[in-house]
């Protein structure tokens, strides 16, 4: 009886060991791509992939992307930090969306803005773009001028520091949409 119990216990331990080994291998396969050297994706975004930018800005039913002028998707760090930035040529911008809705909410803002959080979000997006040498992305001072309309889709701050920004900016002079998705 004792011999049989030891045999069952031994088989059970072998099964647990095999499952643990399979788990370790599966985990290693999942995280291995994070450690591979991979570069940024430059100018690989299509208008179909970028349409969400117009959807978020609530203008997709009134505007069309004529072409993607620039796109940049940085590699992600282990914690997910990185930047995606696009410059899209659109056919027109529906000015009627730059207003408060019935609930007082504004999707698009007319700069210059002076809200400290929004100004910090502009600086963070622009700084990250320029730190990755995206010379085509406007500086924060330019974005915060009457040349642009701004849509802040997401802003996350920790300890009064902006750590995540999803910004859409419409250049009224050149009919371009700039998009930045930044996580620091």
User: 10-residue block means of pLDDT along the chain (184 residues)?
Assistant: 77 85 77 67 95 96 97 88 96 92 88 96 96 96 97 94 97 97 94
> Do residue 16 and residue 64 come from a single domain?
no
pLDDT recorded at residue 39: 86
> Do residue 71 and residue 133 come from a single domain?
yes
Omega cis (within 30) before 112:
yes
pLDDT recorded at residue 174: 96
Distances (CA, A) of 142 to 43, 76, 94: 23, 28, 21
> Do residue 105 and residue 134 come from a single domain?
yes
> Do residue 30 and residue 107 come from a single domain?
no
pLDDT recorded at residue 170: 98
- For residues 68 and 50, is the Cβ–Cβ distance under 8 A? yes
pLDDT recorded at residue 33: 59
pLDDT recorded at residue 92: 96
> Do residue 16 and residue 105 come from a single domain?
no
Residue 174's domain comprises 41-183
> Do residue 56 and residue 128 come from a single domain?
yes
pLDDT recorded at residue 32: 62
> Do residue 170 and residue 94 come from a single domain?
yes
How many other C-beta atoms can be found within 10 angstroms of the C-beta atom of residue 50?
17
Domain count, the chain: 2
Distances (CA, A) of 96 to 58, 65, 90, 107, 109: 11, 18, 16, 11, 12
> Do residue 8 and residue 91 come from a single domain?
no
> Do residue 119 and residue 162 come from a single domain?
yes
> Do residue 179 and residue 89 come from a single domain?
yes
> Do residue 128 and residue 142 come from a single domain?
yes
Distances (CA, A) of 55 to 49, 52, 88, 94, 151: 11, 5, 13, 13, 12
> Do residue 16 and residue 53 come from a single domain?
no
pLDDT recorded at residue 89: 98
């Amino acid at each position: 009886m004792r011999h049989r119990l030891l045999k069952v216990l031994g088989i059970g331990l072998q099964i647990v060991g095999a499952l643990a080994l399979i788990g370790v291998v599966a985990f290693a396969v999942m995280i291995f791509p994070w450690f591979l050297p991979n570069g940024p994706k430059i100018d690989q975004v299509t208008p179909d992939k970028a349409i969400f930018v117009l959807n978020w800005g609530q203008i997709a039913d009134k505007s069309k992307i004529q072409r993607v002028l620039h796109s940049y998707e940085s590699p992600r760090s282990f914690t997910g930090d990185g930047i995606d930035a696009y410059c899209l040529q659109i056919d027109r911008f529906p000015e009627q969306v730059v207003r408060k809705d019935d609930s007082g909410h504004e999707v698009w803002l007319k700069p210059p803005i002076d809200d400290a959080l929004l100004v910090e979000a502009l600086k963070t997006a622009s700084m990250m773009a320029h730190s990755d040498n995206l010379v085509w992305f406007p500086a924060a001072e330019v974005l915060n001028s009457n040349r642009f309309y701004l849509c802040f889709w997401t802003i996350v701050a920790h300890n009064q520091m902006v750590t995540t920004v999803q910004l859409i900016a419409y250049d009224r002079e050149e009919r371009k949409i700039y998009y930045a998705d930044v996580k620091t």
